[in-house]
Amino acid sequence: MSELNEYLNELKASARQVMDGEGTAAEEATLWPLTVELGWLLTAVPEELDGLGLGVHGVSMLHTELGRGLAQVPFLAATLAVDALVQSDIDTKAELISRFTTGDAVTAPLADVSTVTLTDTLNGKLSVVPSADTASDVLVCVDDCVVLVKLHQAGVELSARGTWDTTRRLFDVTFSNVVLANQVVLARGDAAVAMIARLQSLRDFALAADCVGAAAGLLDITIEHLNTREQFGRPLALFQALKHRCADMKTLIDAAEALLADSLSRITDEQLAEIDSQLLAKKAKLVACSMFADVSEEALQLHGGIGMASEHPCHLFLKRSMLNEHLGSGNGNYELDIADHFLAQLA
């Protein structure tokens, strides 16, 4: 375990270095090829499939670093789809994993707002799919079926959706009579249900990590601003009113980070589909995403006028935090799920 930790720390340091080099909100066009080249997509892939075998811990660490830099890459979506492949029993699995971790991009929706229905054909709309135009395939979860669908084929239509958050390029993907037999079905029945549950946990942990990293990065930027900007002949950081708010932000961030780390330490990769793991993931997501929204709101205020100018990165954090709150099944639903689970246990 400690050897693993050491390795994780090294990876973290090198990821930090890469991201610092690329700068805040680095463009997808340059960062994505780099992400692929560095083999980051292989982080959670087991060693027998030529991955690093670092599991959810390893990939979570990368999500944190990418979040910190507001990376404009569909890394989260791609890792979900690759994980689905890893869990599947299909013959072409090794080949597809290799393809999607080194060449073609695969994507997956980041929110539970799909209207897709499945019979012999797929119909309906999949929303909140990042970078669908540059990906070759998308992961679709419907009821008790998980399937990989080609994005560039008859019956599939992409439409770009403008979002306040400009660090993600989201698409609606509409299916009209896309024949299931021509797609790659990854799981069906109970296996699919378990796979979907697992993917939800992974997604929720990843969103939590994204928020933790981004909020920490934003707090650093804010403190740097307060330390250097002078008003009334002194650094703004000298005003206790502002220091205390930074202290509040730091405490919120560390609590969210601690919850994420604690949750991850309680489960193994194999348990991700279990109900307890799902609950841990939901709590981590809820706490981290509300925390990031709070931190972004404070940071904008503490920047003053410059924070209202689009040239300053402050707003990019705020906008990502606002979107993150609604990803997954949305913070409001997590609140309910957590309370309902608690109440059901008492009963």
Q: Would you say 257 or 298 has its CB closer to ligand FAD? A: 298
Backbone angles phi and psi of 89, in degrees to 5: -110, 15
Q: Would you say 71 or 246 has its CB closer to ligand FAD? A: 246
Structure tokens at 326: 């609604």
Q: Would you say 103 or 234 has its CB closer to other proteins? A: 234
Spatial CA neighbour of 78 closest among 163, 199, 173: 199
Q: Taking a C-beta distance cutoff of 8 angstroms, is the pair 213, 220 a contact?
A: no
Q: Least separation, in Å, of the C-beta of 222 and other proteins?
A: 14
Subset of residues 111 to 140 that bind other proteins, contact rule: CB under 8 A = 111, 113, 128
181 secondary structure, DSSP code? G
238 binds ligand FAD (CB under 6 A): no
Q: Least separation, in Å, of the C-beta of 310 and other proteins?
A: 4
Q: Would you say 3 or 234 has its CB closer to ligand FAD? A: 234
Q: Least separation, in Å, of the C-beta of 125 and other proteins?
A: 13
Q: Least separation, in Å, of the C-beta of 215 and other proteins?
A: 18
Cα 335 to Cα 101: distance, rounded to the nearest angstrom: 35
Point out which residues pair with 328 in neighbouring strands. 111
Site string for other proteins, 188-227 (x = CB under 8 A): ----------------------------------------
Residue count at the site for other proteins (CB under 8 A)? 36
Q: Taking a C-beta distance cutoff of 8 angstroms, is the pair 146, 84 a contact?
A: yes
The site partner of 330 among other proteins, ligand FAD, none (C-beta below 5 to 8 Å per kind) is: other proteins
Cα 41 to Cα 51: distance, rounded to the nearest angstrom: 9
Q: Quick one: how far is CA 222 from the chain centroid?
A: 23
Q: Would you say 129 or 314 has its CB closer to other proteins? A: 314
- 23: helix, strand or coil: coil
Among 1, 89, 91, 232, binds other proteins (CB under 8 A): 232
The site partner of 203 among other proteins, ligand FAD, none (C-beta below 5 to 8 Å per kind) is: none
Q: What secondary structure, in 3-state letters, does 245-307 show?
A: HHHHHHHHHHHHHHHHHHHHHHCCHHHCCCHHHHHHHHHHHHHHHHHHHHHHHHHHHHHHHHH
Of 176-184, 215-223, 237-245, 324-332, which segment contacts ligand FAD by CB under 6 A? 237-245
- 325: helix, strand or coil: helix
Site string for other proteins, 241-260 (x = CB under 8 A): xx------------------
Q: Taking a C-beta distance cutoff of 8 angstroms, is the pair 140, 202 a contact?
A: no
Among 4, 258, 308, 339, binds ligand FAD (CB under 6 A): 308
53: phi > 0 → left, psi -120 to 50 → alpha, else beta; which? left
Subset of residues 256 to 285 that bind other proteins, contact rule: CB under 8 A = none
Q: Least separation, in Å, of the C-beta of 250 and ligand FAD?
A: 17
Spatial CA neighbour of 314 closest among 221, 192, 239, 184: 221
Residues of this chain that interact with ligand FAD (CB under 6 A) are 229, 231-232, 236, 239, 241-242, 301-302, 304-305, 308
